[in-house]
A and B are shown apart, each in its own frame.
Chain A
Amino acid sequence: MKIEQYNMPDDLYYEENHFWVKEEGDLLVMGMDDFAQTMAGEVVYVQLPDDGKKLKLGKKFAKIESGKWLGKVYAPVNGVLDSVNEELETNPGLINDDCYGKGWLYKIKPSDKSELENLMKGEEAVTKWVLADIEKYAEE
Chain B
Amino acid sequence: MEAKYEFEKKFREQILQCSRCGFCQAVCPVYGSTQRPGLNARGKMLLLKEVMDGNLPLDDQLTESIFQCTTCASCFENCPSGVCVPDIIKQARKDMVNVGSCHPAFEGMHKVLQKHTNIYAEDEPEDFERERNKKAEYVYFIGCVGSYREDESTLETLDLLDRLKVDYTLIDEVCCSGVLEDVGYNINTNLAQKNMDLIFNTKAKTVITGCPYCFRTFNNKPQYGELKENGVKVVHITQFLQDFDFSVQTDKRVTYHDPCDLGRHCGIYDEPRNTIRKIAPNFVEMPDNREGALCCGAGGGVRGAFAKNSIAMARRRLEQAEEVGAEIVLTECNSCVHNLGNAKLRKQKFKIYNTTQFINQLMEEAE
A binding-site residues for B, Cβ under 8 Å: 42, 44-45, 48, 50, 65-68, 70, 84, 86, 89-90
CA distance A48 to B105 in the complex (A): 26
The answer to whether B304 touches A67 (Cβ under 8 A) is: yes
CA distance A90 to B312 in the complex (A): 10
CA distance A46 to B117 in the complex (A): 26
CA distance A44 to B304 in the complex (A): 10
What are 8 A-B contacts with C-beta separation under 8 Å? Answer: A45-B342, A50-B346, A65-B307, A65-B342, A68-B108, A68-B109, A84-B346, A89-B345
Additional A-B contacts beyond A65-B307, A68-B105, A70-B148 (8; CB < 8 A): A45-B342, A50-B346, A67-B304, A67-B307, A70-B120, A84-B346, A86-B346, A90-B345
At the interface, yes or no: B308 with Cβ under 8 Å from chain A? Answer: yes
CA distance A68 to B310 in the complex (A): 13
CA distance A123 to B346 in the complex (A): 38
CB distance from B351 to the nearest CB of A (A): 12
CA distance A50 to B351 in the complex (A): 13
> Which residues from chain B contact A70 at a C-beta distance below 8 Å?
120, 148-149
> Which residues from chain A contact B109 at a C-beta distance below 8 Å?
68
CB distance from A42 to the nearest CB of B (A): 8
> Which residues from chain A contact B119 at a C-beta distance below 8 Å?
68
CA distance A39 to B304 in the complex (A): 17
- Given A44-B308, A68-B119, A89-B346 contact (CB < 8 Å): yes
- Closest 8 pairs (CB-CB, A-B): A44-B307, A45-B342, A67-B307, A68-B304, A48-B346, A44-B308, A68-B120, A89-B345
**Most chain A CB inside 10 Å of its own CB: which residue of B105, B149, B304, B346:** B346
CA distance A50 to B348 in the complex (A): 12
CB distance from A55 to the nearest CB of B (A): 18
> Which residues from chain A contact B345 at a C-beta distance below 8 Å?
89-90
CA distance A84 to B305 in the complex (A): 27
At the interface, yes or no: B337 with Cβ under 8 Å from chain A? Answer: no
> Which residues from chain B contact A48 at a C-beta distance below 8 Å?
346
At the interface, yes or no: B160 with Cβ under 8 Å from chain A? Answer: no
At the interface, yes or no: B311 with Cβ under 8 Å from chain A? Answer: yes
CA distance A67 to B120 in the complex (A): 10
CB distance from B81 to the nearest CB of A (A): 36
CA distance A44 to B149 in the complex (A): 14
CA distance A48 to B345 in the complex (A): 9
CA distance A66 to B105 in the complex (A): 12
> Which residues from chain B contact A65 at a C-beta distance below 8 Å?
307, 342
> Which residues from chain B contact A89 at a C-beta distance below 8 Å?
345-346
Nearest opposing residue in chain A for B105, CB measure: A67
